[in-house]
Amino acid sequence: MSIFIGHDTRLVVQGITGRDGSFHAKQMLEYGTGVVAGVTPGKGGQTFEGRVPVFDTVAAAVRATGANATVIYVPPMLAAGAIYEAADAGIPFIVCITEGIPVLDMTRVMPYLRERGARLLGPNCPGLISPGQSKVGIIPGNICAPGRIGLVSRSGTLTYEVVNQLTRHGMGQSTCVGIGGDPIIGTDFIACLSAFQADPATDAIVMIGEIGGTDEQKAAEWVKAHVTKPVVGFIAGQTAPPGRRMGHAGAIISGSSGTAAEKMAAFEAAGIGVMRRPAEVVELLRARL
C-alpha cells in the first residue's frame, strides 16, 4: 500500500503543454504514473507524447477518462483558478506544484476545497511519490526505492537528500510527501502522519521540518498522542538568525516559537529521534526498528 496515490491513480496534468508541465509530464509517464489526460485551454483535441489526450477543461478530462487526481503546473496568478476548476470537476486529490501563489488567493481556496471534500497537496511543493507505483510532481524517481519508510517534508531539496540516504542504505520508501513551505498549505504534517500511521505498508516515519511557525510542535504533540510507529525528524535552519526569512515564505522566526531549538526540543519531548544532520537518518531508524 501507500498513501494518497498508488497503482490506481488516474492523473490529469493541468498545464501539460507548458514548459514545466510538459517536462514533468514526460518524467511521470516514463516512471509509470497513470497519466490519463492533460489540460490546456484552447488546445483540446491534441495529444501529448502521442498517447495522452489534451482537453480544454478539467471537467471534460474527467468525463472522458475517469481521472481521480490532478497536478497543476500553471503560473502563480492562474493557479488558484486551476485549483477551483479541479475541485469543481470532482477531483478528490489535487497537487499544486506552483510557487508564488498570493497568500490571499489561498485564504479563499482552502474553504472552497473543504466544502467540496477535496484534498490539496501544496502549493509550492515537490509533490509526492510512492516508489514503484506512482509519481505525481517533481521528486526524482531514480533516487527512490520501494520499501516501508514513510517520509513527510516541508523542504523539497532536503526530501531528496534524505531519500537518497535511505535508498543508498537499503531502506526503501512507502510514500515520500513534500507538503510545501508556504504559510497556507492544504495537507500538513498531521494529515500525513495520520495516513502513515494507518498504512500497514509503513513501518517507520521520517519528518523533515524547518524554522518558522509551530506546525512541527503541533505534529510532535500528535505523534506523542497517536503514533505507535517509530518517528525520526530533522529541522532545517538550525543556524538561521531570528527575524530573517530563510527560503520558504513560511520559514521565518517570530520570537522563540519558530526556532530550530524549540522545534527540536518538542521532537525530543515527543519521543521523536532527532537528527543533527540528514546523514544520521539511517542510524536513527535502525536503532528504532
Q: Is 248 a catalytic residue?
A: yes
**Whole-number Å distance between alpha carbons of 6 and 79:** 25
Q: Is the peptide bond before 146 cis (omega within 30 degrees of 0)?
A: no
The active-site residue, picked from 7, 24, 226, 248, is 248
Sheet with 127-130, side-by-side order of all strands? 134-137, 127-130, 173-178, 146-153, 204-210, 231-236, 273-275
If we measure between CA atoms, which residue out of 184, 163, 160, 186 comes closest to residue 173? Answer: 163
Sheet with 119-121, side-by-side order of all strands? 47-48, 52-55, 35-39, 11-14, 69-72, 93-96, 119-121
Q: Which residues are catalytically annotated?
A: 248
